[in-house]
Structure 1
Amino acid sequence: MQALVFLSLVCVVVGMHVRVGPQMTDAQLEQTLADRPTMQRHIKCALGDGPCDALGRRLRTLAPLVIRGTCPQCSIEETRQIRRTLAFVQRNYPWDWAKIIKYAIVLSCVVVACFAQAQRPAVSDTALDDALQDKRFIQRQLKCALGEAPCDPIGKRLKTLAPLVLRGACPQCTPQETKQIQRTLSYVQRNFPQQWAKIVRQYAG
């Protein structure tokens, strides 16, 4: 799941998209991207480190739609411009991009975990044992966690909760879930050391 912060940044930059008036042209987008003070202002807004204008506040309310992958208000052209903006920020503002990523991971973990808390069924220890014995299943989940492959519902859940357990605090996890996730992480550490190293680099920071 992409985080709210990504879209806040992008929507502020390509903000004319949802207004009733004319859409932002590619030339206008390029002009905005080239204007360093404007970009820094938008990035501060996205990170919550600075004020947002009325349009920025409005666009933040639309962000969840785009995050879920359904934005009826967005045209193909707008989607292309949003992707262009994200790539530009990643290349030209790497320190800010790193902050956005860090903030986004925390925010998405909290939002998804809170939403899923009431809906997730308990996993028995026997089911966990069976899963850990299925090497292909584990590799699929590891690829999901590292963003190298699509996630199934189990992978999404692990991807959400495992980083919190890895950091030593998962307030929304039950004691049973915490124990099972710790056991799974220990299993991965012993049996998949290369993927474990990637997971630690990606999530433990």
Structure 2
Amino acid sequence: MRVAVILCLIVGSVLAQKSGKYDHVDVDAILKNNRVLTQYIKCMLGEASCTAEGRELKKVLPDALRTNCAKCDEKEKSTAEKVINHLKNNRPNEWKRLIAKYDPHGEYEKRFATSAKH
């Protein structure tokens, strides 16, 4: 279940932000387009330039991880779950690399596992 914590904002805060700034982004289209999805992944890994959305995501992701996605609304959480499931099922190598970069010590996974039990 660490996935909800680790990538809560990969789509949650950026692609479905409460501000409505990115409400126009079609997450399903991104997930279906390997080229675009790969660019987002490379952006998050620091291997390629980022779009405005990617830069914003990289800026807010640390806070989302620290706060267990406290600022995420239900739409953001649902969208994040969709992205996470897609990455785990269809891009497992990239998923592992994202986890290694954003939760190298498993601290967010542990926190989420503890809060999920309650």
Using structure 2 for the length normalisation, give the TM-score. 0.69
Whole-Å separation in 2 of the counterparts to 1:37 and 1:101? 21
Equivalent residues in 2 for 1:4-83, closer than 5 Å? 6-7=7-8, 9-10=10-11, 15-21=15-21, 23-24=23-24, 28-67=26-65, 68-69=67-68, 70-71=70-71, 74-83=72-81
Q: Which runs of 5+ in 2 are unaligned?
A: none
The yes-or-no answer on 1:150 pairing with 2:107 is no
1:29 shift after superposition: 1.9
Q: Identity of counterpart residues, as a percentage?
A: 19
Find the residue that maps to 1:52 and give its secondary structure: coil
Q: Which runs of 5+ in 1 are unaligned?
A: 113-143, 152-205
Using structure 1 for the length normalisation, give the TM-score. 0.43
Q: 1:86 aligns with which of 80, 84, 87?
A: 84
Letter in 2 for 1:90: K
Structure with bigger gyration radius: 1
1:54 shift after superposition: 2.2
Tell me which moved more, 89-98 or 57-66: 57-66
Find the residue that maps to 1:84 and give its secondary structure: helix
1:91 shift after superposition: 0.6
Query: Larger relative contact order (C-alpha < 8 A, sep ≥ 6)?
Result: 2
1:107 shift after superposition: 6.9
TM-align CA RMSD: 3.4
**Structure 1 segments (4+ residues) deviating >6 Å:** none
Q: Is the 8 A contact 1:9 1:45 kept in 2?
A: no
Greater share of residues in helix? 1
CA deviations 1:88-135 (Å, max 9, x no partner) are: 0111001111212222332766xx9xxxxxxxxxxxxxxxxxxxxxxx
Which residue number in structure 2 is paired with residue 140 of structure 1? none
Whole-Å separation in 2 of the counterparts to 1:44 and 1:19? 25
Paired positions, count: 110
